[in-house]
Amino acid sequence: MAQIITVTNQKGGVGKTTTASSLICGLHQRGARVLGVDLDPQGNLGFSLGIDIGDADTVYHVLKGLKPLESAIISTDYGDILPSDIMLSAAEVEFTAPRREFMLEHHLKSVRSEYDFIVIDTPPALNILTVNAYVTSDSLIVPMEAEILSLVGITQLQETIETVRKSFNPNLKVLGILLNKFNARLTLSQEVLELAQEVAGQLDSRVLAPKIRRGVDVARAPAHGQCVLTYAPRSKPALDLQEVVDLIAGDRFPPKNSNN
């Protein structure tokens, strides 16, 4: 039965898609069966992993009940992907049926036993798509930049998580806050780390030990249809993100070059 992990933050540009694509790619490299689900209407997850949507079925068609989930999954060199496109932006208006918070969970049930991990990338908003991801997930990872403004809005995120726990998914956990663009030599980064630790405590969680350092390869990789782990595996961000993969994979899926 797949472990379902959602990467979430209502603020844009904090590294959600980079984190999600790296988890998908890194876990797949270790032999895990991985499904990536793109719930962002911008479709950046699929683009980052080299998918040309074209006329293909997407998560929109699945949630609307127009296509079975299996027909919309695209196999890539980095794992299976359920892609998205701009049509999903109408979700708040179009998805109005009772129990609409459980749409994604309902569809994922048919494939959950076929994967070890399902990684969900969410839009920069706390809308019905994000709530669907929370309802079906075991845990959340919250990426944020090592900047003060990235902390703004975390209170709203906390309220949404608590609402989902009370009403839909009492077992939802926050795996941790992931600091991106971190520079240990900067006073600002250290100040943000301290504040993030306080916020993590309010979420009954922690700041993840790996801190993701800056690197231009993170921005370059999507243009080549790759995650940074394959585009620049020895870059600082890739090495840091591999540590995050280590945390998620645990002993079940050690690195291929591991001697264990």
Answer for the pair 24, 34: CB distance below 8 angstroms, yes or no.
Answer: yes
Question: Is 203 domain-assigned?
Answer: yes
Question: Is 259 domain-assigned?
Answer: no
| Residue 12 falls in which region: left (phi positive, over 0), alpha (psi -120 to 50) or beta | beta
pLDDT over threshold 60, residue 260: no
Question: Is 254 domain-assigned?
Answer: no
Tokens representing 137 are 């997930």
What are the Cα distances from residue 88, in Å, to 57, 76, 206, 208, 221? 12, 22, 32, 31, 25
Q: Which domain holds residue 123?
A: 3-249
Q: What is the pLDDT of residues 112-131, one digit of tens each?
A: 999 999 999 999 999 999 99
Question: Is 15 domain-assigned?
Answer: yes
Question: Is 31 domain-assigned?
Answer: yes
pLDDT over threshold 80, residue 257: no
pTM, entire model: 0.95
Question: Is 260 domain-assigned?
Answer: no
Q: Domains in the chain: how many in total?
A: 1
Beta strands across the sheet bearing 79-82 = 74-76, 79-82, 34-38, 117-121, 3-7, 139-145, 173-180
Query: Which of 47-61, 85-99, 206-220 holds the top average pLDDT?
Result: 206-220
Question: Is 137 domain-assigned?
Answer: yes
Burial class of 258 by CB neighbour count within 10 A (0 to 12, 13 to 18, 19+): exposed
Determine the residue type at 164.
V
- The residue-averaged pLDDT of 42-49 equals 93
Q: Residue 142 sits in a domain of what CATH number?
A: 3.40.50.300
Q: What is the DSSP letter of 127?
A: S
φ/ψ of residue 34, rounded to 5: -125, 135
Determine the residue type at 19.
T
